[in-house]
Amino acid sequence: MADEATLPKNFVCKVDDAQRVQIEVYCREHGWTFSDLPYGYWKASGSKINVAAYHSGKLTVQGSNTGEFVLYFLEPEVLHTVGFGYDNRSEALSSGPITPHGGIDESGKGDFFGPLVIGGVYVDSTSGAQLAAAGVCDSKLIKSDKKITDLAQKIRNIVNGKFAVVTVGPEAYNRLYGNFGNLNRLLAWGHAKVIEELLTKVPDCPRMLSDKFGNENLIRNALQTRGRQIVLDQQTKAESDVAVAAASILARDGFIRIMAKLSETAGVTLPRGAGSNVQAMANEIAGRDPELLQKISKTHFRTWYRAMNLPEPEKIPYNNGRLF
C-alpha cells in the first residue's frame, strides 16, 4: 500500500441510494457545507475535502483529506471494501518475510446492531505462511459469511490456540461506552484485553500490530504490567499483515455468530451497518419493544435517538476523517 503521506488525493466509486444517504448523514453531522451539483444530488465540502454524489450513482472524493476520509469512514463503514492506496488487489496481503508477532483487529464498531468483537492472532514464519496459503486476507474482502466461518476454523487450527477473542455484547458495550465516553477509549480497552490474553498464551510475543484508530497511548495506558513491555505498532491498513488479517476474520466470525443469536431474540434478521435500512428496522423495533432495542443495539448511535424520538446529541466536529 502507498505510504499515508502519498495516498491519492481523489477517489471515485459507485454507491447505491442507502449508501449515498449514509454518507450525506455523516457529512451533515460533521458540519460540512452542502451545495447544488449539476447532474447530481449534492456536493459536500469539509476541511480540505469535497464529496460529490451524482444521479448516476458515482461518488467522487477530492482534496488533501481524501485519504483519511476513505480509509477511516467510506471504505470500512459504507463500502465495506479494501483497496484504496493499493496498486492492485494482490497487495491486500503483504508478501514480505513473516517474523513472529501478533495482530489485532475488530468487527462491529460501525454496526448499530450487534456486538463489538476484537480478535488477536499470533503468527511465526510457519503459521503465517500457512495462513496466507489458506486464503486468509482482510475480512472486508470476504462477502460470504460461510467463507468467514470456514476460514476462522482454519485459522484456529493453524495457530494451535495462539489466538484471543474478546466479545462485548450490546448491553456491556453501552455500559462501557457510558464509562469511557469515547469509542477510541473503548477500542483501546478491548485491544488491551486481547493483548493481555494473547500474552498469557504466547509470553514471548515480541510485538503487536493493529490498525491505526487513535493515539497509541490509549492502548498503552490501558495495558497491564505484562502488556506494557511489548512493542506496540499501529499503522494504516494494518489488515495487509497476515496476523491482523487473521484477527479480522476471527473478529468477524464472532460478530456473525452473535448477530445470528440477536436476530433470533428480535424475531427478525437484523441488518448490518448503519444505513437507512438499519434505521427503518430500529424504528420498527422501538415501536413494539423499546427495551429490546436497547439490549441489541449501540445506543450512542444517532440511529438510536431517532428511533426513540429523542433529541440528538450535538454534532461532532470533523476530525481528519475519523468518526470519533
- Does the fold of domain 94-260 match that of domain 4-90? no
- State residue 90's pLDDT score: 40
Please, which residues have CB within 8 angstroms of residue 314's CB and are 6 or more apart in sequence?
none
**Closest C-alpha among 117, 111, 109, 112 to residue 299:** 112
What CA–CA distance (Å, rounded) separates 160 from 204?
A: 16
- Residue 202: phi and psi, rounded to 5, are -135, 80
User: How many helices and strands (H and E) does the chain possess?
Assistant: 11, 10
What span, in angstroms and rounded, lies between the C-alpha atoms of 129 and 106?
22
CB under 8 Å to 324, separation ≥6 — which residues? 182, 183, 184, 316
Please give the grid coordinates belonging to residue 87: 496498486
pTM of the model: 0.72
For residue 174, give every residue at least 6 positions away whose Cβ sits within 8 Å of its Cβ, in sequence order, or none. Answer: 294, 298, 299, 300
Tens-binned pLDDT, residue by residue, of the chain (324 aa): 444 555 788 999 999 999 999 999 999 999 999 999 999 999 999 999 999 999 999 999 999 999 889 887 888 788 876 667 654 444 455 556 788 999 999 999 999 999 999 999 999 999 998 998 888 988 888 888 999 999 999 999 999 999 999 999 999 999 999 999 888 889 989 999 999 999 999 999 999 998 876 666 777 777 766 666 788 888 777 778 999 999 999 999 999 999 999 999 999 999 999 889 999 999 999 999 999 999 999 999 999 999 999 998 876 544 443 433
| Secondary structure element (H or E) that encloses residue 287, with its range | helix 276-288
CATH of domain 94-260: 3.30.420.10
Domain boundaries, the chain: 4-90, 94-260
Give me the pLDDT at residue 315, please.
61
Which pLDDT score, from 0 to 100, does residue 8 have? 80
The topology under which CATH files domain 4-90 is: TATA-Binding Protein (3.30.310)
Q: Cα(165)–Cα(254) distance, rounded to whole angstroms? A: 8
